[in-house]
Amino acid sequence: MKIKNVLWGIIFIVVGIIMGLNALNFTDINLFFDGWWTFIIIIPSFIDLFDSKNRKGSLIGLIIGISLYLMCINIISIKLIANLIIPFILIALGFSIIFNSNLNNKIRKQMKNLNIDTEEEYYSIFSNRNINLTKDISGCNLNSIFGGLTCSIKDTKVTKDIIINATSVFGSIKLIVPDEVDVKVISTPIFGSISNKIKRKDSKYCVFVKGFALFGDIEIN
């Protein structure tokens, strides 16, 4: 049994017991206290720390949720949070540039002569969306903003190198590729993660992914 499922189960049981006791007038516990909505961020982020491939993103979500809660109960000010956001982003961007520049330059050289049409756009905004592409594609743009987007190109027939642009802002993108292709990634994660699980050096064709993750994650399977 996964610890993630156990924790979610405990939370629902506790909330259910409190609501039941309140309904029977045994207790008068206010579940809608100041800043209660921040726990919509805090609880999932905390639970994902125990069972997640993106623990860094979960930790960041937890920090954001706790910061918002402390702001709601007047322990820290919104001015302080606003003043710290830009420095944190700049620091993260600097580290990202340093560690990814060499690898990205090699992949960019391979992509330079490709004539790729990436006109097709797919979005998931404050929602979850599943896309299964079956026709041949030369590329596409995937965008997830506060949502979840799963795109499968597994059933397409890849007959040339293609480029997919993936942008995740406080969201997640999962890209599923055909078995016969390799995947190479140019990544720019800012308080997010981009993971590529495909390594097939003997493949004839390659899916190039240009990924940008701001407080989000992109996963390629």
Strand order in the sheet with 162-169: 121-125, 139-145, 162-169, 206-214, 182-190
Q: How far is CA 103 from the centre of its chain?
A: 22
- What pLDDT does 151 receive? 92
pTM of the model: 0.53
Q: Mean pLDDT over residues 8-14, rounded? A: 89
Q: How does pLDDT run across 124-175, given as a tens digit for each residue?
A: 988 899 999 877 777 888 999 988 999 998 888 777 888 888 999 888 999 9
Measure the CA–CA gap between 186 and 167, rounded to whole angstroms: 12
Measure the CA–CA gap between 210 and 216, rounded to whole angstroms: 14
- What pLDDT does 37 receive? 92
Q: How does pLDDT run across 76-123, given as a tens digit for each residue?
A: 887 887 787 778 777 766 766 665 555 556 666 666 666 555 568 889
Residue 191 contacts residue 217 (beta carbons within 8 Å): no
> 16 falls in which pLDDT band (50, 70, 90)?
very high
Domain borders along the chain are: 3-76, 104-220
